[in-house]
Structure 1
Amino acid sequence: MRHQTQSLPAKQPARLRVGILLARRFTLAALANFIDVLRLAADEGDRSRPILCSWRVVAMRPGPVESSCGLYVEAEDSLGDPTRFDYIAVVGGLIGEGQWISPEAEAWLCRAAASGVPLIGLCTGAFILARAGLMQGYRCCVSWFHREDFLELFDQMLPVSDQIFVVDRDRLTCSGGASTAHLAAFLVDRHIGRAAARKSLSIMIVDDALAAERPQPGLPVELRASDALVKRALLWMQQFPETPPTAERLARQLGVSRRTLERRFAEDLAISPAEAGRRMRLAQVRALLARGEKSVTQIAAETGFSDVSHLIRVFRAAEGITPEAWRRAQGGAGGT
């Protein structure tokens, strides 16, 4: 006798209902990873029927929304009553793209918050929630790559840049990219079950759900530590490039002696904490030079060098050329 799989009735209310608001020029990967976890958890196998959970893309009026890569996603519904969703996720767009969402959409998010609907900031969606005044008093996850951008706009807030996502009561934020899949898996685990979350990630060829506290990637290859204490130290240094901590201060922060910290660095990376900090800051200098948006003087201030002369001296010792020459070689522009 052939086995017949019994499906849940489609009319049964979904256990997890998510509304998705797309910013202008939103990041497609953040949206796709998030939705794919939901759809794979919503039904048997990968049949994708919205049974156990549902998702709707909403906008001021139905129609296409352009992503940062030029592809369009159709918004199916108008904003409407926000309480029809268990969560509302905002997918952010490119930094420096001006008004990401309309004032009406921002007011809708405020109405949702006032009604008790938890809000999710995917990728730079955290910027949108912060600009709407909806992250005051909350911990906010921001990618280490956009940390300085966030601080320029919201200098009264200290973003979390050493975790892939943060859950603080009814605000959930993540660093973007693959972290949106892990945040979605957290929601699936909470509302549907761990097996459904694991199934989704397995089909997506992701080994397992990562906890919120999992460090963000992005450190230079030579600083990929295996020692847990060294990892924590590197992530702490990564959050404060403009004021690099001394080994003594870092050890106090981590609750160990300076000697223990230096020994663990030597055993794991064969360098001192100070040298690791220097390499990390030089990696950030290269990233900022490649973006071409800031002068070498600005970059020196943001990456913990005492002045531009100090940066040029250290950079030339590492790369053999000045920062400006390196930028020109990469095809970038800028000035001192």
Structure 2
Amino acid sequence: MTKSIELKGNKVALLKYVGVLVFVIILSSARLLAQDTLDLYSGRPVPNARQVNMSALPAKQAMGMVYRVIRPSLEVYLPAEGTATGAAVIVCPGGSYKVLTYAGEGVATAKAFAKRGVTAFVLKYRLPDDAITSNKTIAPLQDAQRAIKIVREGADKWHLDIHKIGVAGFSAGGHLASTLATHYRQPVIENANNTSLRPDFLVVVYPVISMQDSLTHADSRRNLLGNNPTNELKKLYSNDLQVDAETPPTYITHAADDKLVDVDNSIMFFESLRRHKVPVEMHIYPKGGHGFIFGMPDWTTPLFTWMQKANWITK
């Protein structure tokens, strides 16, 4: 298992995995390709966007990483014919709210879900950026809420069960996924149809959960909330403090030796869910570090077992 490296100075902590280039090449040559890419705000203005010269701020991506998102989108991965279960998942890759680990955590995960009959949507969400948004803090959540609205309203098109639409997130993407699962009653998008923005299930993998000083991942908090967030804002985006009895059933996994995002993020989230009697299952591996999925190809095995037991998917 390769180890993560935290970059110094003002740069975000990026995961540098040995062999990631080979991994991305394998992904690009795989048979299961995205069937469609949907513009989240097709035909309408992107909410909360500044009027700036977008040509001077081009979208950037390289080596499976996305460094800026101007037009958020959903990339669709359909199960093979005859294997669809009716379930769907929106996948939120991580990257400290500074980049998106799009290929490794997004596309690879979508393909794994699709192979198990789950229609998967990789969310390319806006990264918090004062240059392109008026309020950078809510931009990722706007895109996540818009994504679940599109998927739920388009359920017939993709032959989905509207009661089996979940969200999965990694690292900072786990924070976004858990924010969607705990803040769904406060829409930050237009929702005239009153479409439910609540995911039916939640999967978080080595997630950032807390924004409190003692536990948060500093880069993720700084990128999302700014350099000096108020105590009120830190509490609002500490998602273990936002759990209630209606929070979706949750699957959590983390490595105990994670040096980047403390495993106590997952443990505190688990305890909050348990206290509110929300169905929750947690798998903590003794070793693996942050990004352990890259060295553990079978990490999804207990996840899909959980989904089967909860009747999200069939065997």
Q: TM-score, normalized by length of structure 2?
A: 0.31
Greater relative contact order: 1 or 2 (C-alpha under 8 angstroms, separation 6 or more)?
2
Question: Going by fraction, where is helix more abundant, 1 or 2?
Answer: 1
Kindly name which structure, 1 or 2, has the bigger radius of gyration based on alpha carbons: 1
